[in-house]
Amino acid sequence: MEVSKVHDISILHLFGEVSLMEMDRIETALRSFQNSNSKKILIDMASVDYVHYFVIKRLVKKASLFREDEGDIKLVSLKNEVKEMIRFTGADQFLEDYATISEAILSYLKPMGHDDRMYH
């Protein structure tokens, strides 16, 4: 796992299989972001081959907690297998995903409550 930052957006770059052990490390990083008042999180999954079902459930819960605190967790660059697992669990109803980091960053920059059609 690597961490980078673009403006006020923290990006977690994950690799390989994401099991419950990795989720513990991810949650530690998320707590650190919260403690430093960093509420806009992207999880880059371009190099992730598999995500455990329980990890997805925990990410949904974490995203919900960030939203309560006026932040969010968004997923980026999902491989088809990972995207299918997220869809299978129903987490796609709670976690936004974007094809590129650039698109995800731009999603944080849009004013809240505005119609997306205004930006096309």
If one counts every other C-beta atom within 10 angstroms of the C-beta of residue 39, the result is: 18
Q: What is the pLDDT of residue 109?
A: 87
How many whole angstroms separate alpha carbon 76 and alpha carbon 98?
5
Query: Which parts of the chain sit beneath pLDDT 70?
Result: 111-120
Residues of the chain with pLDDT > 90, as a percent, come to 88
CATH assignment of the domain containing 103: 3.30.750.24
Quick: pLDDT tens for 83-116. Answer: 999 999 999 999 999 999 999 999 998 765 544 4
What residues make up the domain containing 97? 2-119
Structurally, the chain folds into a number of domains equal to 1
Evaluate whether 82 touches 50 at the Cβ level (below 8 Å). yes
Residue 28, phi then psi, degrees to nearest 5: -60, -45
